[in-house]
Structure 1
């Protein structure tokens, strides 16, 4: 991965902090270098969306819209139907397509996916409940007080689990044991000082490192081609020599959850 280089300079403009929910699409990147840094993009004269066959890793394939990893072919192909996929972890069925859930466990420990709807309070197994299953785009399953509950992750204030709270760039209050709107000051080093979540998940408040402190940014002029995209959580891109807000509006809660699913699975294992 290309190293992130930070050149953060003093910002003097007295404007409001930057809040954005934009999302950069492949066609907005103007050079092959910028295009190559995006997992879902490829360069062919211009920057374009990858097709299913372009993905060579199962995890990247299953997170790409309309694609699913075919175990028999050992390659990424277009999603067909839930029942055509066998997985090792039940939550992986949802990654194939949001209409898929895991069927009964087979003798070899695998699961055949089937079409269905996830209902958190019908899940009795704690490990399965905490494996990153979504009841819908705004609710994720979480095991608490001996039952599997649906947690609203549309806002910071409705999240009740610390791991979810911090993964979504909100701020966890130790004293109140509650999830709050993210604050730039929660980050104590410049490499972590990128952006935080506003109250509505998917809307980001940009941060900047200044005088050994992480504060809300009112300008993106200090960002470079190396950190423009990463430091804005994918809302800005380096276009024609400037860090510019993208035009896409696809950034939603489900997209965020796909990003943090790996974190949740890591805590589960």
Structure 2
């Protein structure tokens, strides 16, 4: 409708030039078409940022994720795949490749022995570390799992920040009167970040956890940058009493809908 109105306006404007030659008419039409293309492109790009098209596209993306959730989740079924007591999930793509392309390797045991004997590639390790850094740049929420001294497990969703010096060092806070303090002081935990829209997660149970030397006030600037709004509304007494814990990740599993890697520090 908008385009029709514009065309009508152009037609009314140029009607007085109907005695022009056919070449001139073509030139005018080409000019008008070019202006319309540029204007329409700009208009739709602008509309994509605002309601209702922005909401419509968001709804459509959610519908696609819901529609294909089954196949997408199916690709993650090997996240914990044990073979003879060993978690081989990070190596499954390599195992499949070697079995299909290396005639000298006939069994899973032979492939695993070959992989274990390989000299780690510095390029590959660097690429996985870069991926880990990109992962933590996209989330600040994790599920923290702990257990009581009697072995009763519990999981809680927590906000965390990352050390600017070491990407495998994370911090989170807790009020001193909460029940999880006793569990955290046992020094045993597992983490799993909340999945993003691409299915991206970081998971690890190879880590150490302890009370940090820092107070919340020492990390306030990091919280403001990495977890916007976290510090808003906190009373001075709450900031002083908050207990900060430090997680040092030794190794972690990086997963998306289609990729699975393991990173060691």
TM-score class normalised by the smaller sequence: under 0.3
Which structure carries more relative contact order (alpha carbon 8 Å, separation 6+)?
Answer: 1
Normalized against structure 1, the TM-score is what?
A: 0.21
- Select the structure that is richer in strand: 1
The structure with more helix, counted as a fraction of residues: 2
- Report the TM-score when normalising by structure 2: 0.21
Larger Rg: 2
